[in-house]
Amino acid sequence: MTRDERSVTPQSEDFSAWYNELVFRAELVDRGPVRGTMVIRPYGYRIWELLQADLDARIKATGHQNAYFPLLIPESYLQREAEHVEGFAPELAVVSHAGGKDLEEPLIIRPTSETVIGEMMAKWINSHRDLPLLLNQWANVVRWEMRPRMFLRTTEFLWQEGHTAHTDAADAMRETMLALEFYQDLAVQAAAMPTVPGEKTPSERFAGAERTFTIEGMMRDGRALQSGTSHFMGTNFAAAFGVDYTAESGSLELCHTTSWGMSTRMIGGVIMTHGDDKGLVLPPALAPYQVVIVPIGRGEQAQEALPTARELAGTLQRAGIRTHVDDRFQLSPGFKFNDWEMRGVPIRLELGPRDLAVGTALMARRLSYPPQGGKEQGRGKQPVPLFSAAATLSAELAAFQAMLLQRATDFRDRHTVIVNSWPEFAVAVASGWALALHCGDKSCEDEIKAETTATPRCIPLDGEPDSGSCVRCGQPASYGKRLIFGRAY
């Protein structure tokens, strides 16, 4: 039996193949002309726009301002902060020839913008009255990728990067945690991803940072995905770039800085958190189309339903529901149903002659879900009166969003295990996360990774106090709580 050309490899058979096929079948991306690059197609870019709009509103509401900084950075800028340049050296793309001649100084295509923004901050900040300086940039960056995977690891990707300067460490740390809160709220409320906020171990920190914080999500294969990071830089970059200010006392002080970012990797997280063997499953908050209306029938029959379908679409759109009418009459209804399932549309409405006669549309949800309030929900197709469709569908979309978050939370919790021995640890990280005590020694982390490919994802912020022996080496545990270990993307 051959698989339908529109289907994808089942997750249980090969999760990686499922993902790689799905991003193309759902028309989210195409391959770019340079290895490791991607073309984000309109449907995929719309998901990014919805993520971007939500996050941008959160950023602006807290006093940050958007700006834009150059793509090309002098090589000498990166060399000013030794740990930073060492961390990024293997990923750098360098321009050494331009305008028909060799350049006096090579230029780096930005992998991140701490250096160029630090240079500008040094020009713009003079007094304590200029602080805090709260900047954000929406941009593309380049990090040369040897093993690309669409959205997750590509040579060029889109992101936002926040960069701020403060008078003292306490204010900068508040900013660091505020940014982490942006990402956690976005993940949970918009992407329906139950991410865990936590701090990275020293070996997992951003190059040049004093502390790095992350939100970690569990994908449907049990692996972790780092979905957003926020860094407390201390005075490292301020010292390297001369970012200082005159305090009220008249003394010259170094600024404390932060940086934080979220990228198109989040789209990969949405795909792998919710998708199934039929294709994408999109949270309504991020679905390009929350409702698709399919006129039923061929020829004149379908044409008869089209005016009502368009009128209904207008009603739903005015109610704030992103709606699309599929008027591709050359295609069968069955093909359209499969197509929109592949694209993850939360709700499909079917509108045919029988429905028109009784003033209803037939509603099909992308996923069924368990009973709520004693009534069976999401089983099969249900008629929806046209006159009340806007209110009904608004409620259905809210329920669908909540269901996806609960479903993903339950999956994460089922695949997260408290372990106290090495055999338990090895079993847990083979299919999910292990909550384990650890000594904090990098060589021990390296041994764990070598044997299991698992790494410390984070020290959960809400983790309960705990003590004992390291799960691997038996030495006294550090951190005062259990760490999340897991295989990661």
Q: How far is CA 238 from CA 38, 167, 208, 407, in A?
A: 35, 11, 11, 44
Q: Which of 311, 397, 388 is nearest to 351 (CA)?
A: 311
Decide: 489 and 224 in contact? Cβ < 8 Å: yes
Q: Which of 169, 251, 244, 245 is nearest to 210 (CA)?
A: 169
How far is it, in rounded angstroms, from Cα 477 to Cα 483?
Answer: 10
State residue 4's pLDDT score.
53
Contacts of 334 (CB under 8 A, 6+ apart): none
SS3 of the chain: helix, strand, coil, percent, to 5: 40, 30, 35
Burial of 148 (0-12, 13-18, 19+ CB in 10 A): middle
How far is it, in rounded angstroms, from Cα 469 to Cα 457?
Answer: 19
- Provide the token pair at 69: 């900084």
How far is it, in rounded angstroms, from Cα 461 to Cα 286?
Answer: 27
Could you say which DSSP state residue 268 is in?
H
If DSSP codes are grouped into helix, strand and coil, which group holds residue 4?
coil
* Contacts by residues 20-25 (CB-CB < 8 Å, ≥ 24 positions apart): 20/149, 20/150, 22/271, 22/275, 22/279, 22/280, 22/342, 23/150, 23/151, 23/271, 24/150, 25/279, 25/342
Q: Which of 171, 199, 182 is nearest to 256 (CA)?
A: 171
How far is it, in rounded angstroms, from Cα 209 to Cα 121?
Answer: 17
If DSSP codes are grouped into helix, strand and coil, which group holds residue 215?
strand
Burial of 29 (0-12, 13-18, 19+ CB in 10 A): buried
How far is it, in rounded angstroms, from Cα 406 to Cα 194?
Answer: 8
Q: What pTM does this model have? A: 0.94
Angle, helices 169-185 vs 42-61, to 10°: value is 140
How far is it, in rounded angstroms, from Cα 280 to Cα 300?
Answer: 32
Residue found by looking up tokens 């999910």 in the block: 432
State residue 87's pLDDT score.
75
How far is it, in rounded angstroms, from Cα 346 to Cα 129?
Answer: 49
Q: Which of 18, 20, 19, 116 is nearest to 75 (CA)?
A: 116
Decide: 484 and 198 in contact? Cβ < 8 Å: yes
Cβ atoms within 10 A of the Cβ of 277, count?
13
How far is it, in rounded angstroms, from Cα 302 to Cα 436?
Answer: 59
Residues making up the chain, counted from first to last? 489
- Provide the token pair at 49: 């726009």
Burial of 287 (0-12, 13-18, 19+ CB in 10 A): buried
If DSSP codes are grouped into helix, strand and coil, which group holds residue 26?
coil
State residue 171's pLDDT score.
98
Each residue's pLDDT expressed in tens, for the chain with a length of 489 residues:
344 556 899 999 999 999 999 999 999 999 999 999 999 999 999 999 999 999 999 999 999 999 999 999 999 998 887 777 777 888 999 999 999 999 999 999 999 999 999 999 999 999 999 999 999 999 999 999 889 999 999 999 999 999 999 999 999 999 999 999 999 999 999 999 999 999 999 999 998 899 999 999 999 999 999 999 999 999 999 999 999 999 999 999 999 999 999 999 999 999 999 999 999 999 999 999 999 999 997 667 778 899 999 999 999 999 999 999 999 988 999 999 999 999 999 999 999 999 999 999 999 999 986 544 445 455 579 999 999 999 999 999 999 999 999 999 999 999 999 999 999 999 999 999 999 999 999 999 999 999 999 999 999 999 999 999 999 999 999 999 999 999 999
State residue 369's pLDDT score.
67
Tell me the domains of the chain and their CATH numbers. 15-274 (3.30.930.10), 286-411 (3.40.50.800), 416-486 (3.30.110.30)
Cβ atoms within 10 A of the Cβ of 105, count?
9
First CA to last CA across the chain, in angstroms?
33
Label each residue of 378-403 as H, E or C: CCCCEEEEHHHHHHHHHHHHHHHHHH
The per-residue DSSP string of 227-238 comes to EEEEEEEETHHH
